[in-house]
Structure 1
Amino acid sequence: MMTHGQPVGPAIPAAAHPVVAPAQLIFAHLGIEIEPLAVRAMASAFRYVRPIADGRDEFGGLEAAFDLFEASGFNCEQFRTTDSAQFLEAARREHTLTERRWRAAPMYAIHPETDPATGSRTLLPVALSEFDAASVRVTSIYADRSLSYRELSSASMTSWGYAAPVPSLRAIISPSRFSFTRRAARSLGLALQRMRVAEDGLSMLSDWLDSHPNRGDVAAYRRRLRAVSCGDSAYGRTQLIDALDTYGGANAHDATRLGFLRSAELHRAFLDGDDTALTAIVAVERAALETVRVWREAEPES
């Protein structure tokens, strides 16, 4: 186990998506090398930021972890509470039980993390691992370190929980045969449909803009978008194009790619201070998402 407070490795580059850091640790535990683009698709990572902050993280919470594990063919044990002490007790018990069954895999959780470049503090996905009598290893996009249980539970959060993967026997026995490609292709199709029609999809942002928010509200939204972008000024739109090219197959239409390429430019403009770019983002992404209304899936993985 690490000594208290000691970093154990460099953080993942800021341009990567925050969900990649815990996923990398979890899958490496199984001997599986991740494909970051696939992980983003499988964890439903292409999301819209809620216009009004409500105390939740912007990365899908434990549902994103469930999506990732389900797409991987795993089961998932979840625990939620409003009490940090109950959370720690349950997480340590889960770790002990899985250690006895086989060996304890890292867990997915949410924790406030500090961007070293800006000093801003944001709720981000983390992996919890290496529990001992007094501390636990916490891995995020920004840091990989040991925290005492007192430090971990001192975070100001209204909801605590974890999602612990229960790997498939196939993944345990033959990790080298684990394939992300078809799993990611299906997940990408579902993610795009969610962006198009779900309550937390594009309509959420569109309805907010229709309510004519004032400049202060738009500025607050810009600050939150910048914080959860984690250094990616295009807010994942160029990675979405890469995912379409890699996993979309016949679904990767030129019109879709051009739409999200334009959206990437508009996101950069909005983060640079252009309020009008936000309305243009809605129009451009609505048109792009209409081009993937029908998603043709590949044959199921054998």
Structure 2
Amino acid sequence: MGITVTYLSLLVLVPLSMIFLKTATIGPGEIWEAVSSRRALASFGLSLSASLLAAGVNAVFGVLVAWVLVRYRFPGRSVVDALVDLPFALPTAVGGIALTAIYAPRGWLGQFLYPLGIETAFSRLGVVIALTFVGLPFVVRTVQPVLEELDMDHEEAAASLGASRFEIFRRILLPPLWPSILTGFAMAFARALGEYGSVVFVSGNMPFKTEITPLVIMTKLEQYDYAGATALAMVMLIVSFSLLFLLNRLQAWNNARTSSRGRAPAAEQGQAAPPGAHGVAR
């Protein structure tokens, strides 16, 4: 316990606490001026909304990818499985350059999207695409082990009783998958909220339009505005921690509710049968 607490303190607690200590050295008025400026508020809105949207997209399609990898056998499956982990190993700057080359007005996909009025690179949509790219592995790798442990007998029994595919997913698959989906969503959101390398290339970095908060922080650091950068970092830290804590509490509540539902049938089976219940009808 002592080694664990010391290790986490040196790597997480002490560096993060320095943000609050550094912010405490400046006055409340200066902090408010830094975090309430139009540029800062616009970056907050884009970072939060794009991260939530990207995490939501990954929560849906990440489950779909995990389902295909677990339940289907097809040529090249191992290659697809390896591609899922590519955003983990790929430098974020390389990912940003690749996305820009694909979705730019003259890129492989952008040359077909821009004539249709769909602006991808150098737009808010490009930010969402980059954040979705870096967050997909978190959902897939969180849901995939749970899917592998699920017993297919329950699905086959429900199908034999006439349940539709949607009913099987909602009643049989979703309850045990829901905690892992929430965990993957939270991890993808946290990863997207702090992403910098891939977004800085594909967004265009236009103030009030496509500028994310990490970029504003880097800009203030380059201008030696350490107080403003620390104030923005403190806000991002508080927001991300609060949302992650809320999602973790929601997951714990869901696990407790699922466990209580599982104990109820067992308790009912253990009750004594009423008199005459074991009689044989003649």
Q: Which has the higher strand share?
A: 1
Q: Sort the TM-score into its range (normalised by shorter chain).
A: under 0.3
Query: TM-score, length-normalised on structure 2?
Result: 0.27
Q: Which has the higher helix share?
A: 2
Pair member with larger Rg = 2
Higher relative contact order (CA 8 A, sep 6+): 2
